[in-house]
Chains A and B, each alone.
Chain A
Amino acid sequence: RKEVEQDPGPFNVPEGATVAFNCTYSNSASQSFFWYRQDCRKEPKLLMSVYSSGNEDGRFTAQLNRASQYISLLIRDSKLSDSATYLCVVNMNRFQKLVFGTGTRLLVSP
């Protein structure tokens, strides 16, 4: 089983739609969780950290479910500029390497 698994997509949604991605992780001792965004032929960039209580940043909401070992990302009111690949990232603690999922591709159409 992969350490971090994501549905590769693509998720095709119209502008204004709400879309959600899930990501499962295998190591129950994992402590830190992040969502990164990667545009085509660009470097990954941090979108948001994921906190135990869930957190929101504008149109983006991240949730953590430790019991089921998954994190989620919800995007409301999708914009064309949201089209990208979203990477789920997990690590055990600040001294351990990060583990990246292979990413979920989102395509937002007019």
Chain B
Amino acid sequence: NAGVTQTPKFQVLKTGQSMTLQCAQDMNHEYMSWYRQDPGMGLRLIHYSVGAGITDQGEVPNGYNVSRSTTEDFPLRLLSAAPSQTSVYFCADSNQPQHFGDGTRLSIL
């Protein structure tokens, strides 16, 4: 997958639990991003980063935090999981064009 690694691939959480989705890339790309994909909604941008130490909000940032301490890693944190966050999450690097990780299928009960 062009050097983008996401973990875990599947996760089930209870409402109110927190967790971190991991994303790493090995191509030294400055730009990284997180999307969620829901049926009929297409890919929606959650947060993105244009380089280490720089993050910004996308279209649907509420309920999620990110950090970018290194070029390689861009973790996505759910602070208090809600059923509305049940989705498939994709991490991507670069933006011209983007390469996606395998995705994380997250269910919140």
Contact = CB atoms under 8 A, between A and B. Distances in A.
Interface residues of A: mostly helix, strand, loop or mixed? loop
B98 interface: yes
Interface stretch (A13-21, A55-63, A68-76, A94-102): A94-102
A97 B45 contact: yes
A43 B102 contact: yes
Nearest to B102: A43
If over half of B's interface residues share one DSSP class (helix, strand or loop), that class is named, otherwise mixed; here it is loop
Interface residues of A, number: 22
Interface in B58-109: 58, 90, 95-103
Interface in A78-110: 87, 89, 91, 94-98, 100-103
A66 interface: no
A95 B100 contact: no
Contacts of A49: 97
A89 B97 contact: yes
Contact of A43 (B31, B33, B97, B103): B103
Interface of A: 8, 32, 34, 36, 42-46, 49, 87, 89, 91, 94-98, 100-103
17 contacts: A34-B97, A36-B97, A42-B102, A42-B103, A43-B90, A44-B100, A46-B97, A49-B97, A94-B31, A94-B95, A97-B33, A97-B95, A98-B45, A98-B97, A100-B42, A101-B42, A103-B42
Top 6 A-B pairs ranked by shortest CB distance? A102-B42, A43-B100, A100-B43, A46-B97, A94-B96, A34-B97
